[in-house]
Structure 1
Amino acid sequence: MSTRYRHAVLLAHSAGTQVITFVLRPTMSYRAIELDVPPALLGVLGASFALAPLLVALPAGHAADRYGERRMAVAGAVLLAGAAVAFATLGHAVVGLVAAGVLLGTGHLGSVIAQQALVANTTEQGRHDTAFGHYAFAASLGQAAGPLLITAFGGRGAIPDTGRIFAASCGLAVLLIGLAVLLPSHQAGRAAVEGGDLRTLLRLPGLLHALLTSCVVLAAVDITLTYLPALGTELGLTASAVGLLLTLRGLASMASRLFLGRLAQAVGRRRLLVVSTLGAAVAMLLTPVPMPLWTLAALLAVAGFGLGAGQPLTMSWLAESAPPGMRGRAMSLRLVGNRTGQLVIPGAAGLMAAGLGAAGVLLVTALSLGWAGVAARRLPVDP
């Protein structure tokens, strides 16, 4: 298998995983609304996606190291297909939605760990920034395309045709299984490090700082998506203007990932991580200040550019720092940190800024990003 073909299959598998996930998650909420599920239970449905993978992330990383990335990718794709089938057949009750959400979260986790371990194990030393930048770009493309399928298959009503979307997702999941089978099998990834365990990873210099930066950056992305519409309401912006701002933020993140390798070569990985995180922090700090729309758009572009660089840079650093045979576990450890940050940080920011509205939440998030950017200075210059 040529390197270019292998690369294309991996990027297609990455995008496909995110398409399925980002069409099923909102559709799950729409089905819950159809079932008159109380708003409080919508949080339980969301947690079903995030909590279950926390329990299996590290074993999944170990399995990727031991049995190979392709087997893990196939298992993840099969679980995603199972989730789509479960939504279609069991999604007429809340218990069925929760069960399908657990399958969806677990399948997404297995697929992502396999993809990241494969990028880490098959990329030449010194090219991980470019490889992970392209990988993250493909994932962003899938995340943007997923919700569009709701429009394509769901009709034009306030509540889309959820049954039709679930059925279409089953077909997409079958295609994803085919892509997973075509992924290369990296033999070296199966050779475990003698005596290597979680403590071996935790002793890596700068590991905790990398995990901290990664989880804070990802939580900041979630908070921006959640609270920017609320801030727009407070500032008197129209829904279309807020949608444009969110789109601009997403495009800026994709641009930073597409050119990540060149940027890292030009200024250095650690400096790029510090500058991009601190730049996003400053932009988010200024976002609640009343200003012309074009100025706010420029700030959101800066924030998006900085937030887009954080995830692939920490993946690249981990890939070059972790011993061969332990990179699947290294990526799963990072995902555990990310999931924890997604669960804890938004809630903590909301509690700390309860009396300050959306502006207060963004302020706390900006301070957290600033802290993470300073912490990133403790990373080794070259793993």
Structure 2
Amino acid sequence: MNPALRLDLARLIAAQISLHACMTGFRMAAPLMALREGHSPAAVGMLLALFALAPVFMALPAGRYADRRGLKKPVALAVGTATAGAVLAVAFPVFGVLCLTAFTCGAATGLAMIALQRHVGRLAHGPTELKQVFSWMAVGPSISNFLGPFAAGVMIDSFGFRAAFLLLAVLPSMAWFWVRRAVEHEPVAPALRQSSGSSWNLLRDKPFRRLMMINWMLSSCWDVHTFLVPVLGHERGLSATVIGSILGAFALAATAIRLLMPWLAARLRESVVIGAAMCATALLFAIYPLVHAAWAMGALSVLLGFALGSVQPMIMSTLHQMTPPHRHGEALGLRAMAINGSSVVMPLLFGSVGAVIGVGAVFWLVGAVVGLGSPLTRKLGDTTPAAPVRTRF
């Protein structure tokens, strides 16, 4: 990558971290405050669901808005929405307001992510740079997943919940600081927008449907691991610290592989990486319920982190190559809707199925689905890359 692209990318990653850290901080702090005030676990679960629920309904409109308006206007709207929701929590730290804050922060983060991903994809020149930029972008959420909860926790212990909410309310404005100098791409021509039709028309394209199916399967694997490892660890008699360490090892491995991938991008093919990740995930899910020792579960968690962590940059690169440039935002919106919908529905489904057939059987069932779906990746390389619009103003 040339120095100008690196600088642009660094600013966009910083903006992504700023907004996402606000959301992840509230996702930890708001349920904690609700529990300390005596609200039931069911109420806390509803509060947590609101963070993912907003992007399910708003992802498609957000994608079309990004196609029409580019980067700055969607990010400005996201910054205003997240800041307003956070300030409300500072002024009125009660459960009802925290639910509104969860909804606004989730919606704002979803809108900003789509606009940022669309802009970054149009900065790249060719498949190799696409893999590189999306590998770097994928590191951002890993950082904010640590930064937001950690900063909120320190502020809560030192100064209380309102101080933590105030700190989180400042973070979105930093995102605008980082994107304000970005150079917008040429807007999508009205004629192209009008000829596109419904966003659902994208699903008529067989390669795109195939990619969305693969993306959903792998996203479900991430949810399975996050949701069921604590249950499996409890059955094995492991402590909370050990279970947390197993999940932490997964997150660190996912981050590590994303840091490594930009240097290997020229040697990687999207279809090969995604196919290998699906086969590896199926194998690891088959083994997971059979191990009892904490160190073995930790080792499997690391390997699974490497496999699933490698997927997102490849999915994003493939998506940008197979969809028309003027519909990148819509395609990203469909992907975001599927992922967030999975995060809302799948834990409920896994919990219900696990209660009937057992936690181990859920691992085997999901692993079998992913393994049987791995042949779908063979045809991902058949698409012709779409040339991004390069003109700027």
Q: Fold-level match, TM-score > 0.5? A: yes
Hey, what does 2:256 align to over in structure 1?
A: 255
Q: Does 1:232 align with 2:227?
A: no
Hey, what does 1:186 align to over in structure 2?
A: 185
- Matches of 1:112 and 1:190 in 2, distance apart? 23
- Please list the CA deviations of residues 186-213 of structure 1 after superposition, one character each: whole Å capped at 9, or x if unmatched: 2255676361232552233421221122
1:322-361 superposed matches below 5 A: 322-361=323-362
Cα deviation for residue 44 of structure 1 reads 1.9
- Please list the CA deviations of residues 252-272 of structure 1 after superposition, one character each: whole Å capped at 9, or x if unmatched: 111222233455543521011
C-alpha contact 2:68 2:188 (8 A) present in aligned 1: yes
C-alpha contact 1:215 1:340 (8 A) present in aligned 2: no
Cα deviation for residue 4 of structure 1 reads 2.6
C-alpha contact 2:323 2:331 (8 A) present in aligned 1: yes
Letter in 1 for 2:348: G
Q: Which among 31, 34, 38 is matched to residue 33 of structure 2? A: 31
C-alpha contact 2:90 2:166 (8 A) present in aligned 1: yes
Cα deviation for residue 102 of structure 1 reads 1.4
C-alpha contact 1:57 1:332 (8 A) present in aligned 2: yes
C-alpha contact 1:154 1:161 (8 A) present in aligned 2: yes
Hey, what does 1:17 align to over in structure 2?
A: 19
1:1-383 superposed matches below 5 A: 2-92=4-94, 94-126=95-127, 127-155=129-157, 161-188=160-187, 193=192, 195-197=195-197, 198-263=199-264, 265-383=266-384
Hey, what does 2:387 align to over in structure 1?
A: none
- Matches of 1:163 and 1:348 in 2, distance apart? 35
- Please list the CA deviations of residues 140-173 of structure 1 after superposition, one character each: whole Å capped at 9, or x if unmatched: 12112222113321217xxx93222101111222
Letter in 2 for 1:336: M
Cα deviation for residue 61 of structure 1 reads 0.7
Letter in 1 for 2:85: A
Q: Relative to 1, partners in 2 of residues 1:365 and 1:146: Cα closer, same or farther, differing over 3 Å? A: farther
Q: Relative to 1, partners in 2 of residues 1:287 and 1:35: Cα closer, same or farther, differing over 3 Å? A: same
Equivalent residue of 1:193, what SS?
helix
Q: What runs of 5+ residues in structure 2 fail to find an aligned partner?
A: 385-393
Cα deviation for residue 319 of structure 1 reads 0.8
- Matches of 2:259 and 2:73 in 1, distance apart? 28
C-alpha contact 1:6 1:184 (8 A) present in aligned 2: no
- Matches of 2:125 and 2:340 in 1, distance apart? 29
Letter in 1 for 2:68: R
Length, aligned pairs only? 379
Q: What runs of 5+ residues in structure 1 fail to find an aligned partner?
A: none
Cα deviation for residue 138 of structure 1 reads 1.8
Cα deviation for residue 371 of structure 1 reads 4.0
- Matches of 2:315 and 2:139 in 1, distance apart? 15
Q: Relative to 1, partners in 2 of residues 1:190 and 1:178: Cα closer, same or farther, differing over 3 Å? A: farther
C-alpha contact 1:20 1:169 (8 A) present in aligned 2: yes
- Matches of 1:190 and 1:36 in 2, distance apart? 53
C-alpha contact 2:152 2:165 (8 A) present in aligned 1: no
Equivalent residue of 2:325, what SS?
coil
Cα deviation for residue 116 of structure 1 reads 0.8
- Matches of 1:181 and 1:27 in 2, distance apart? 29
Is 110-119 or 192-201 further displaced after alignment?
192-201
- Matches of 1:4 and 1:50 in 2, distance apart? 31
Give the root-mean-square deviation of aligned CA atoms. 2.3
Equivalent residue of 1:237, what SS?
coil
C-alpha contact 2:68 2:187 (8 A) present in aligned 1: no
- Matches of 1:188 and 1:123 in 2, distance apart? 17
TM-score by length of 2: 0.89
C-alpha contact 1:87 1:96 (8 A) present in aligned 2: yes
Identity percentage of aligned residues: 24
- Please list the CA deviations of residues 68-94 of structure 1 after superposition, one character each: whole Å capped at 9, or x if unmatched: 1121112112211112112212331x3
Q: Relative to 1, partners in 2 of residues 1:164 and 1:170: Cα closer, same or farther, differing over 3 Å? A: same
Is 330-339 or 176-185 further displaced after alignment?
176-185
C-alpha contact 1:79 1:107 (8 A) present in aligned 2: yes
Equivalent residue of 2:217, what SS?
helix
Letter in 1 for 2:88: A
C-alpha contact 1:281 1:303 (8 A) present in aligned 2: no
TM-score by length of 1: 0.91
Letter in 2 for 1:165: A
C-alpha contact 1:193 1:323 (8 A) present in aligned 2: no
C-alpha contact 1:206 1:380 (8 A) present in aligned 2: no
